[in-house]
Chains A and B, each alone.
Chain A
């Protein structure tokens, strides 16, 4: 599987799922070059762009890091101007503008998830060309193709936090098990009105399935 991305790519499985009272955003931690060399086992793909808004990255690592840096600045500035925390939709729109207006040069996709006072927990996808879509849950990256069935079958609206954590962990484990450019540890961030909680699950503690 030859990746078209030049330089370091986040092979990746990323996802975000809303539950009753919050949202969980998760990713693997592998960065690869050309589908044959793992350049990092511990790359951070969950970037905090504001207090209650996170963004996960897929595609070219350089493009994604620079775009999220620019987005972080713009969202922070917007929040200071408005004198209130930004809406998750605003953060997603900032990323969308950057991706759409530079679509020829960039090769990066994002999932933005967070909590705001107006609409509560939300998940937005910003695809490669700059499409912005709001969904109750979403999966992305090269590893996501292996878990569409699982996600569609197992997602229920209004899950509890524990159910949602289990769903996200299982989904990541299944994708990392089948996709060669996803792997390492599973990073999960739980975002609620109260705050932000990081959960890290090392590779050997991930749930195992029938043939492992």
Chain B
């Protein structure tokens, strides 16, 4: 299924290979008595801010599956290229795979063309791909990066709409985070101020939204390089484990033991010479 749109135009039409698989799986699960597990969603608060020297991206670290927290230390800021990172909200698998695909395509592109990819190119590739799938790929992305044309922050919606903005929040906690950003954002902020602003925005999302929580990750992208601080701030509501969950060998008593030797004989042996320079 992986397509390299850089090297070849994708096949026309939509690729829904997994739909028949999902239907078959549902049928296998005893006619509806057992339900298929709900896909893991990143409940999420993600935010981004363009400042004087670069772009600051922030995210919480909670991933939910239904009402359960599936991952307390989920990484939502994905690597795209040395100068670009992308925060993802929505279905965790979709954001993960979409950003991986984008990253591979851009690496191939920079090798073949000899140029560093621009943020606007990444955005166009994302738009093409998400539009082709008509919203079936549930990925809401915040793409931020620094290239030769400046510092950029883009939002890409699941249906393929894009917008170039100076500050942004997405995910289920976006309204809370946006309140903080709308109040305190100023153009051309200093880096430290921008980091504090993003931290406060994510914190507000964590406090006001049930789908966001745990720690806060921050990623600072400047012309000099990237500072991926994970975690930037740990949750003050961490639980201390009451007992050890590792059990010594011998905790469970063995009742019976049966050893079956597997007899293998060599049927055929071929030697192939490899010519390596």
CB contact list, B134-173 vs A, under 8 A: 134-135, 157-163, 165
CB-nearest residue of chain B relative to A60? B159
- Distance in angstroms between the alpha carbons of A149 and B74 in the assembled complex: 56
Tell me the smallest distance from the CB of A35 to a CB of chain B, in Å.
16
Binding site for A on B (CB under 8 A): 124, 127-128, 130-131, 134-135, 157-163, 165
Q: Which residue of B lies closest to A8 (CB)?
A: B161
Grouping DSSP codes into helix (H, G, I), strand (E, B) and loop, the A interface class, with mixed when no group exceeds half, is mixed
CB distance from A77 to the nearest CB of B (A): 16
- A42 and B153 CA atoms in complex are apart in Å by 14
Select one of B124, B157, B165 contacting A62, CB under 8 A.
B157
Contact present for B161 and A42 (CB under 8 Å): no
Partner of B163, one of A43, A60, A63, A66: A43
A65 contacts B127, C-beta separation under 8 Å: yes
In the complex, A104→B127 CA distance in Å? 20
15 more contacts with CB within 8 A, not counting A7-B159, A65-B127, A66-B128, are A6-B135, A7-B157, A8-B157, A8-B159, A8-B161, A31-B161, A39-B163, A42-B165, A61-B161, A62-B127, A62-B160, A63-B131, A66-B127, A66-B160, A105-B134
Which residue, B130, B158, B160, B161, has most C-beta atoms of chain A within 10 A? B161
Q: Is A40 an interface residue (CB 8 A)?
A: yes
Check if A65 sits within 8 Å of B135, measured CB to CB.
Answer: no
In the assembled complex, the Cα of A61 lies from the Cα of B162 at a distance in Å of 8
Docked-complex contact B165 and A40, CB < 8 angstroms = yes
- A-B residue pairs, 7 tightest by C-beta: A7-B159, A62-B159, A62-B160, A61-B161, A62-B161, A8-B161, A66-B131
CB distance from A69 to the nearest CB of B (A): 8
Contacts of B162 in A (CB 8 A): 65
A65–B158 alpha-carbon span in the complex (Å) = 14
Complex CA distance for A105 and B134, rounded to whole angstroms: 9
Residue of B134, B135, B159 with most partner-chain A CB within 10 A: B159
A to B CB contacts below 8 Å, 15 in the list: A6-B135, A6-B159, A7-B158, A7-B161, A31-B161, A31-B163, A42-B165, A43-B163, A61-B161, A62-B159, A62-B161, A63-B159, A65-B162, A69-B124, A105-B134
Q: Shortest CB–CB separation between residue B217 and chain A, in angstroms?
A: 24
Whether A62 lies near B163 (C-beta < 8 A) is no
How far does the Cβ of A85 sit from chain B's closest Cβ, in whole Å?
Answer: 25
Distance (whole angstroms) from the CB of A15 to the closest CB of chain B: 22
> Which A residues are CB-close (under 8 A) to B165?
40, 42
Instruction: Give Cα A31–Cα B124 distance, bound, in whole angstroms.
Output: 19
Q: Collect the chain B residues with CB atoms within 8 Å of residue A40's CB.
A: 163, 165
Expressed in whole angstroms, the minimum distance between the Cβ of B168 and any Cβ of chain A is 10
Are A65 and B161 interface neighbours, CB within 8 A?
Answer: yes
Complex CA gap A63/B159 in Å reads 8
Q: Assess whether A65 is in contact with B160, with CB atoms less than 8 Å apart.
A: yes
Residues of chain A within 8 A (CB-CB) of B134 are 105
The residue of chain B having its C-beta at the shortest distance from the C-beta of A42 within the complex is: B165
Residues of B within 8 A of A60 (CB): 159, 161
> Which residues of A have CB within 8 Å of B160?
62, 65-66
Residue ID in chain A nearest B163 by CB atoms: A40
Question: With A40-B163, A62-B161, A65-B162 in contact, is A7–B131 under 8 Å at CB?
Answer: no
What's the least CB distance linking B245 to chain A, in Å?
43
Q: Provide the residues of chain B in CB contact with A8, threshold 8 Å.
A: 157, 159, 161
A170 to B158, CA, bound (A): 35
A31 proximity list for chain B (CB < 8 A): 161, 163
Q: A39 to chain B: which residues have CB within 8 Å?
A: 163
Nearest-CB residue, chain A, relative to B182: A41
